[in-house]
């Protein structure tokens, strides 16, 4: 996994100051580091002291390589490297090809969903003896299983599975990647909301603040964002062809929403909600809307209302909503939540 951990450099004086707060009591949300803070501290996202990079001849599709001090240089990141995008989403070349490639198409999940909403998992030895970590993993999984139809099972013979391990920073792949896929949970990530966030990516979620309609609900305060292209790109917005929120309304309290001060250079807000009195993000766990959208994504009802995760639906309900269209767009099954919802027979989900 050496390709996944990129550009490690020393912590800057600025970050040393802003991150000097001890983790402290685990129930005190005021001292919890955010995912962004942890990943900045781990040196995964860039050096805030680099400033604007010099003009380069070429535009790099997936960003620029970095020198030893963590500052970008005019050399493109190779296409075959796994890189973090949006702070904590690890992307493979195949995932980026889907996301940024011509004619790409995505939904909340642009990668494959877990068949039947069942996620096999293992906890790596680097975390297995860490009580706080295993508690947070259990609690993070429970956030989703108690309110949605997705479930987690200890891996046995499954080929595709999630492995929680103690890597650098908090990050996850998006949806099913194929084979073993890591979820990195560094020491600062051992909180229910943080683990639920990374599991949300593994289940197929992007960030809430990347939604196509986000500018109707929040304003990005660019003057307060750390200088440098790489930090500004953390606030990329994707259009409807990449993110489909399945008809749900914008959710300020989503566990997938970054906090107000994410990537702030001066402690001032970088994301300002249009609505007064709302909290951005959720450090406690998933929101009602997070659960609702996950149930839509996996085509099932919440626990208690029905036991119909996609793979266990009865044959009588295994019908495409529009046979002709489903057949026509069959190739989009792995990438499109709409296809997986409306064309379940064609997509082989029931
Ligand atoms: Zn994230």
CATH number of the domain encompassing residue 123: 3.40.390.10
Distance 285 CA to ligand 1 centre (A): 13
* Same domain, yes or no: 121 and 79: no
* Same domain, yes or no: 123 and 185: yes
Angle between helices 131-145 and 192-203 (to 10 degrees): 50
Domain endpoint, select from 203, 229, 250: 203
Query: Is 201 marked as binding a ligand?
Result: yes
Tokens, residue 98: 């889907």
Q: Which residue has the higher pLDDT, 139 or 42?
A: 139
Domain endpoint, select from 203, 229, 255: 203
Domain endpoint, select from 203, 223, 258: 203
Domain count, the chain: 2
Mean pLDDT for 32-53 is 81
Distance 318 CA to ligand 1 centre (A): 33
On whether residue 288 sits in a domain, the answer given is no
**DSSP letters of 40-86?**
HHTT-S--TTS-SPPP-SS--TT-EEE-TTS-EEEEEPPTTS-EEET
* Same domain, yes or no: 130 and 58: no
On whether residue 233 sits in a domain, the answer given is no
On whether residue 18 sits in a domain, the answer given is no
Q: Specify the 3-state DSSP secondary structure of 111.
A: coil
Residue 106 contacts residue 336 (beta carbons within 8 Å): yes
Domain residue limits at 45:
35-83
**Tens digits of residue pLDDT in 93-105:** 777 766 665 433 3
Mean pLDDT (the chain, rounded): 78
* Same domain, yes or no: 79 and 137: no
Residue 70 contacts residue 43 (beta carbons within 8 Å): yes
* Same domain, yes or no: 79 and 122: no
On whether residue 164 sits in a domain, the answer given is yes
Residue 317 reports pLDDT greater than 80: no
What stretch of H or E contains 288?
helix 288-297
Mean pLDDT for 235-260 is 83
Query: Residue 175's closest CA among 336, 66, 318?
Result: 336
On whether residue 53 sits in a domain, the answer given is yes
pTM of the full predicted structure? Answer: 0.75
* Same domain, yes or no: 72 and 142: no
- Of 24-38, 200-214, 220-234, 240-254, give the lowest mean pLDDT range: 24-38
198 pLDDT tier (thresholds 50, 70, 90): very high
Distance 63 CA to ligand 1 centre (A): 19
Place of tokens 């996950």: 294
Place of tokens 């096999």: 120
CB-CB neighbours of 10 under 10 Å = 12
Mean pLDDT for 206-218 is 89
Annotation says 198 is catalytic: yes
On whether residue 71 sits in a domain, the answer given is yes
Query: What's the confidence (pLDDT) of residue 118?
Result: 96
Query: Is 197 marked as binding a ligand?
Result: yes
- Of 40-54, 204-218, 219-233, 308-322, give the lowest mean pLDDT range: 308-322
Tokens, residue 265: 């250079």
On whether residue 241 sits in a domain, the answer given is no
Distance 64 CA to ligand 1 centre (A): 21
* Same domain, yes or no: 78 and 135: no
* Same domain, yes or no: 122 and 79: no
* Same domain, yes or no: 127 and 183: yes
Active-site residue, from 198, 208, 284, 305 = 198
On whether residue 299 sits in a domain, the answer given is no
Query: What's the confidence (pLDDT) of residue 231?
Result: 82
Residue 166 contacts residue 186 (beta carbons within 8 Å): yes
């Amino acid at each position: 996994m050496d390709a996944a951990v990129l550009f490690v450099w020393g912590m800057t004086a600025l970050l040393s100051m802003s991150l000097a707060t001890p983790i402290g009591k685990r129930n005190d949300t005021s001292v919890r580091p955010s995912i962004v803070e942890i990943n900045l501290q781990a040196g995964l996202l860039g050096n805030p002291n680099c400033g604007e990079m010099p003009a380069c001849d070429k535009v790099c599709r997936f960003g620029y390589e970095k020198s030893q001090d963590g500052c970008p240089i005019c050399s493109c990141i190779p296409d075959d490297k796994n890189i973090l995008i949006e702070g904590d989403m690890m992307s493979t070349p195949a995932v980026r090809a889907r996301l940024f490639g011509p004619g790409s198409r995505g939904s909340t999940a642009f990668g494959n969903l877990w068949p039947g909403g069942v996620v096999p998992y293992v906890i790596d030895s680097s975390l297995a003896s860490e009580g706080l970590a295993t508690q947070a993993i259990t609690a993070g999984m429970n956030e989703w299983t108690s309110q949605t139809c997705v479930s987690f099972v200890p891996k046995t013979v499954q080929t595709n599975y999630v492995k929680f391990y103690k890597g650098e920073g908090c990050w996850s792949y998006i949806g099913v990647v194929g084979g073993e896929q890591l979820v990195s949970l560094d020491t600062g990530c051992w909180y229910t909301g943080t683990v639920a966030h990374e599991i949300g990516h593994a289940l197929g979620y992007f960030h809430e603040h990347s939604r196509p309609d986000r500018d109707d609900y929040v304003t990005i305060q660019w003057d307060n964002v750390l200088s440098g292209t790489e930090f500004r790109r953390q606030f990329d917005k994707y259009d409807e062809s990449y993110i489909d929120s399945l008809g749900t309304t914008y959710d300020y309290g989503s566990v997938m929403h970054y906090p107000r001060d994410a990537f702030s250079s001066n402690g001032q807000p970088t994301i300002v909600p249009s609505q007064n009195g709302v909290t951005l993000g959720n450090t406690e766990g998933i929101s009602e809307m997070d659960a609702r959208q996950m149930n839509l994504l996996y085509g099932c009802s919440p626990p208690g209302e029905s036991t119909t995760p996609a793979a266990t639906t009865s044959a009588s309900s295994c019908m495409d909503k529009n046979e002709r269209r489903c057949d026509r767009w069959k190739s989009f099954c792995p990438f499109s939540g709409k296809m997986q919802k409306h064309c379940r027979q064609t997509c082989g989900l029931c």
